[in-house]
């Protein structure tokens, strides 16, 4: 049976990683893979995570199963982190949480429960969106469609285009939204735009499915969670998929959560029971290690403070790089504005060059990014920023 399987092409990001590894030029710059890096190009273990990990291991007396919905302490801590202490949806008992294998697991479980609840619903994603949204959503059997999102000319959100499309969606449509630090563009809605969108979502009876993979890496923990907090307070139903990969640096530990906000406590209980059943049919239960670490960090005052400090360092570094990059590019291109790079948030930005230019950067200058010219800002450093700007200047005409 297996003999007939067709070999699939290598995933573009994995292909890019392999090409980078094989490049012997010492000037090479990796802006492809979406992991945070420090100024030396490393992705270190977060200090509080290392300490919490030791405490968890020292205390652990068994490896017995935890619970079908994961670590209850983690789930509760995540609800407070995402929605904020005392959020009305929490105090009214309308939120249930299941721990998931990373943010991917959360997006997939969210899609699965939507398919059970409303198999005809279509999930609408932004153009562009994180490439993995497509298989995660369609893998559940739900149909996927797209709404306009990014305005290449301004480097910001095409809000008019987005609203024009969302205003026409039929009731029970699902709108997949990035809470903040939009991947791949870095272009986010403003608070007033979130309010406008909320009005339309309410009027048309749409279901927001919010993906939050970068809380704390944009503006701040509360600011980056503005949309899930507002929508959960104002709407009867919201799904929120959360990842701890980036803000806790727990990538390989596969740590995330899916929060379901329902109309009533009884409806929320029903949703959780369905989620547990779905998870059981795929992977039974989530891995504990990362969730135990996050729970430890969030419940220990000192570790929490240390984590917040490091998160703020990461955020500051990204913003500093954005500002420096704008300055460097402005020096080479006095007639072009790159100010949008500083206004965008999170790890990613679209450079706005075409695929042949991306390839030229890769081949001639050893600068690696995805073909759509998405760059991981955190891959830049004091050591390579000038070289990167000079390389861009070689491929992008001055006028
Ligand atoms: C928009 C978005 N959602 C979800 C994720 C989930 O990541 P993970 O499954 O590694 O937690 C990512 C990671 O890159 C992402 O960019």
Provide the β-strand partners of residue 212: 242
End-to-end CA distance of the chain: 57
In order of 58, 109, 140, 178, 237, the CA distances from 52 in angstroms are 10, 28, 35, 29, 34
Q: Which of 158, 188, 211, 288 is catalytic?
A: 211
Please give the pLDDT value at position 68.
Answer: 95
Provide the β-strand partners of residue 148: 127
What backbone phi and psi angles, to 5 degrees, belong to 145?
Answer: -135, 175
Please give the pLDDT value at position 172.
Answer: 95
Helical segments of the chain, H only: 12-22, 47-59, 72-83, 88-91, 102-117, 133-138, 159-166, 191-204, 221-224, 226-234, 265-282, 289-299, 301-332, 339-343, 355-365, 385-395
Cα 107 to middle of ligand 1, angstroms = 9
Among 133, 134, 128, which residue's Cα sits nearest to residue 147?
Answer: 128
Please give the pLDDT value at position 397.
Answer: 81
Cα separation, 342 vs 248, in Å, equals 24
Could you tell me the strand order of the sheet in which 174-178 lies? Answer: 95-100, 256-261, 238-243, 207-212, 174-178, 122-127, 143-148
- Is 194 among the residues known to form the active site? no
Ligand 1 atom with the shortest distance to the CA of 251: 10
Ligand 1 atom with the shortest distance to the CA of 106: 9
Residue 399 has pLDDT above 80, yes or no: no
Q: Is 103 in the pocket of ligand 1 (CB under 6 A)?
A: yes
What backbone phi and psi angles, to 5 degrees, belong to 131?
Answer: -55, -35
Cα 61 to middle of ligand 1, angstroms = 32
- Is 246 among the residues known to form the active site? yes
Cα separation, 109 vs 115, in Å, equals 10
pLDDT in tens, 188-246: 999 999 999 999 999 999 999 999 999 999 999 999 999 999 999 999 999 999 999 99
- Is 233 among the residues known to form the active site? no
Residue 297 has pLDDT above 90, yes or no: yes
Residue 301 has pLDDT above 80, yes or no: yes
Please give the pLDDT value at position 191.
Answer: 98
Please give the pLDDT value at position 280.
Answer: 97
Please give the pLDDT value at position 340.
Answer: 93
Query: pLDDT class for 11, splitting at 50, 70, 90?
Result: confident
What 8-state DSSP symbol labels residue 217?
S
Q: Measuring from atom 5 of ligand 1, which residue has the nearest CA?
A: 103
Ligand 1 atom with the shortest distance to the CA of 254: 11
Q: Are 210 and 240 contacting, i.e. CB atoms less than 8 angstroms apart?
A: yes
pLDDT in tens, 146-202: 999 999 989 999 999 999 999 999 999 999 999 999 999 999 999 999 999 999 999
Distance of alpha carbon 8 from the chain centroid: 26
The pTM of the whole model exceeds 0.75 = yes
Among 334, 339, 318, which residue's Cα sits nearest to residue 385?
Answer: 318
Dump the DSSP string for 126-137: EES--TTHHHHH
Residue 12 has pLDDT above 90, yes or no: no
Please give the pLDDT value at position 396.
Answer: 86
Q: Is 213 in the pocket of ligand 1 (CB under 6 A)?
A: yes
Task: Give the pLDDT mean for 20-27.
Answer: 95
Angle between helices 191-204 and 226-234 (to 10 degrees): 30
Q: Out of 140-144, 269-273, 325-329, pick the least confident.
A: 325-329
Residue 27 has pLDDT above 90, yes or no: yes
Ligand 1 atom with the shortest distance to the CA of 130: 1
Q: Is 376 in the pocket of ligand 1 (CB under 6 A)?
A: no
What backbone phi and psi angles, to 5 degrees, belong to 208?
Answer: -80, 130
Task: Give the pLDDT mean for 98-118.
Answer: 98
Ligand 1 atom with the shortest distance to the CA of 243: 11
Q: Measuring from atom 13 of ligand 1, which residue has the nearest CA?
A: 213
Q: Which of 28, 52, 111, 246 is catalytic?
A: 246
Q: Measuring from atom 4 of ligand 1, which residue has the nearest CA?
A: 103
- Is 268 among the residues known to form the active site? no
Contacts 24+ apart (CB under 8 A), 63-70: 65/285, 66/285, 66/288, 67/285, 68/276, 68/279, 68/280, 68/284, 68/285, 69/97, 69/98, 69/99, 69/272, 69/275, 69/276, 70/98, 70/99, 70/100, 70/257, 70/285, 70/286, 70/288, 70/291
Task: Give the pLDDT mean for 118-122.
Answer: 96
Task: Give the pLDDT mean for 136-143.
Answer: 98
Instruction: Pick from 11, 103, 240, 246 the residue to mutate for probing ligand 1's pocket: most ligand atoms within 8 Å of its CB.
Output: 103
């Amino acid at each position: 049976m297996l003999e007939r399987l067709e070999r699939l092409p290598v995933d573009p990001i994995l292909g890019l990683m392999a090409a980078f590894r094989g490049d012997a030029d010492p000037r090479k710059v990796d802006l492809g893979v979406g992991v945070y890096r420090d100024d030396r190009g490393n992705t270190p273990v977060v200090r509080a995570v290392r300490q919490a990990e030791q405490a968890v291991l020292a205390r652990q007396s068994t490896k017995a199963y935890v619970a079908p919905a994961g670590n209850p302490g983690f789930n509760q801590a995540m609800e407070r982190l995402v929605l904020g202490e005392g959020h009305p949806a929490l105090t009214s008992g309308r939120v249930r949480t299941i721990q998931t294998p990373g943010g991917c697991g959360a997006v997939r479980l969210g899609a699965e429960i939507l398919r059970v609840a409303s198999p005809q619903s279509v999930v609408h994603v932004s153009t562009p969106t994180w490439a993995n949204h497509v298989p995660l959503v369609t893998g559940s059997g739900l149909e996927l469609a797209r709404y306009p999102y990014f305005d290449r000319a301004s480097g910001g959100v095409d809000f008019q285009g987005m609203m024009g499309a969302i205003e026409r969606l039929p009731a029970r449509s699902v709108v997949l939204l990035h809470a903040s630090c939009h991947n791949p563009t870095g272009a986010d809605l403003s608070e007033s735009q979130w309010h406008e969108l909320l009005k339309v979502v309410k009027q048309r009876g749409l279901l927001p499915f919010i993906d939050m993979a970068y809380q704390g890496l944009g503006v701040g923990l509360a600011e980056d969670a503005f949309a899930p907090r507002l929508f959960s307070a104002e709407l009867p139903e919201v799904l929120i998929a959360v990842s701890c990969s980036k803000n806790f640096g727990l990538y390989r530990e596969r740590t995330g959560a899916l929060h379901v906000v329902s109309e009533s406590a009884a409806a929320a209980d029903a949703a959780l029971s369905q989620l547990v059943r779905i998870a059981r049919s795929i992977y039974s239960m989530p891995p504990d290690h990362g969730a135990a670490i996050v729970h430890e960090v969030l419940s220990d005052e000192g570790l929490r403070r240390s984590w917040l400090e490091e998160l703020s360092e990461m955020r500051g570094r990204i913003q500093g790089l954005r500002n420096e990059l704008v300055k460097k590019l402005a020096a080479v291109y006095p007639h072009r504005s790159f100010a949008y790079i500083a206004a965008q948030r999170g790890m990613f930005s679209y450079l706005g060059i075409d695929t042949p230019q991306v390839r030229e950067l890769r081949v001639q200058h050893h600068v690696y990014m995805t073909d759509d010219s998405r760059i991981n800002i955190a891959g830049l450093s004091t050591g390579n920023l000038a070289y990167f700007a000079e390389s861009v200047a070689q491929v992008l005409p001055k006028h």
